């Protein structure tokens, strides 16, 4: 992916991984799901969550995670997403809460409701696609605020 051009989904995903010091295979094994197919679905949900960070332009700091959870809650209606969307803001300071409630939150909810189903995309076939083109195809607007991984410790 490092050889892909800047702006491509794959290159920007690699940049997200490097900036946030995570890897695609660093996810813990799915627990408490006895059915093999359901366990795969949960694993894929986790993988897509990381890809969503790139699509949405959100780092892995608390504000970025909450924004992604708000998007996921609006998109999927899954209780675990709604719970993260409700409880996550409790860990934010007042300036981050203001940013969440005035710009990032409304943007995440609106985009989550109107975007195509993000769980149904075969992202591994989209590495070469321009990120902005992919966002447009999925009906996702760029974020109103640019957050960086360098602010990771600031919650």
Q: How far apart are CA 71 and CA 81, in angstroms?
A: 9
Evaluate whether 67 touches 104 at the Cβ level (below 8 Å).
yes
CA torsion, ordered 75, 136, 24, 22, to nearest 10 deg: -90
- Give first-to-last CA distance, the chain, whole Å: 31
Looking at residue 25, its pLDDT comes to 78
> Which residues of the chain register pLDDT less than 50?
151-155
Looking at residue 102, its pLDDT comes to 94
Alpha-carbon distance values, 107 to 25, 33, 38, 69, 137 (Å): 29, 33, 30, 12, 17
Evaluate whether 81 touches 49 at the Cβ level (below 8 Å).
no
**Per residue in 68-99, pLDDT tens?**
999 999 999 988 889 999 999 999 999 999 99
Domain boundaries, the chain: 9-144
Can you give the pTM of this predicted structure?
A: 0.87
């Amino acid at each position: 992916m490092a050889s892909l051009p800047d702006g491509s989904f794959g290159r920007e995903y690699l940049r997200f991984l490097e900036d946030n010091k995570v890897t695609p295979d660093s996810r813990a094994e799915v627990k408490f799901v006895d059915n093999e197919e359901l366990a795969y679905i949960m694993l894929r949900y986790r993988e897509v969550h990381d890809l969503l960070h790139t699509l949405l332009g959100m780092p892995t700091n608390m504000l970025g995670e909450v924004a992604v959870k708000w998007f996921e809650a609006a998109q999927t209606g899954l209780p675990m997403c709604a719970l993260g969307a409700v409880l996550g803001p409790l860990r934010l300071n007042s300036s981050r809460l203001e940013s969440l409630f005035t710009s990032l939150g409304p943007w995440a909810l609106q985009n989550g409701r109107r975007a195509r189903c993000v769980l149904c995309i075969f992202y591994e076939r989209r590495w070469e696609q321009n990120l902005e083109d992919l966002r447009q195809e999925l009906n996702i607007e760029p974020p109103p605020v640019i957050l960086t991984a360098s602010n990771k410790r600031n919650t």
